[in-house]
Amino acid sequence: MIRKATINFKFANTCKLEKIKEIAKEHQKIVNFFIGTLWEQKQFSGNFIKDTSVDSWLSARMKQAAAKQALSIVKSQRKKKKKHKPVFNRPVMELDSRFADIARDVNSFDIWIKLSSIGNKIKLNLPSQKHIHFNTLLNNGWTVKKSIRIRVSEDGCYADFF
């Protein structure tokens, strides 16, 4: 069974939060571009997209991650009864170990997430606090995967650990 723990970035300063929102917006635009391309080419199988060239300031790695996310969205849409082109509306980024480094600390913040390889030489160190659910899972032998999902909503920015 896959467990999930969510932390929020309410302790990060507003400049970092605005930067995350900007990155998520560009990522959403790129994912929708790849969804359109995959839908036109009728490419509904495979594990990755060969051509990830698109005009964006995001890094090639980030474009590759967006293409992989778009492919999984298109694959899941094809399993539904009504098969129509999906639209990616939520600013959600699925980032693997190439982008996110998770560090635990004992100082004022329990956990730090370092985002890198995003594009435009952007590196973000995001502080946060673990909570009871997160600590309970860790104490029960739960191992945190090296990938995270970053979500942006009206309430703020969140990271999901699996």
pLDDT digits (tens, 9 = 90+) for 56-89: 999 999 999 999 999 999 988 877 777 788 999 9
Cα gap 107→110, rounded to integer Å: 7
Query: Where do we find the tokens 């490419």?
Result: 43
Rounded to the nearest 10 degrees, the angle between the axes of helix 14-41 and helix 60-78 is: 50
Cα gap 49→16, rounded to integer Å: 30
Share of the chain above pLDDT 90, in %: 62
E-strand ranges in 16-123 read: 92-95, 100-104, 111-115
- pTM, to two decimals: 0.88
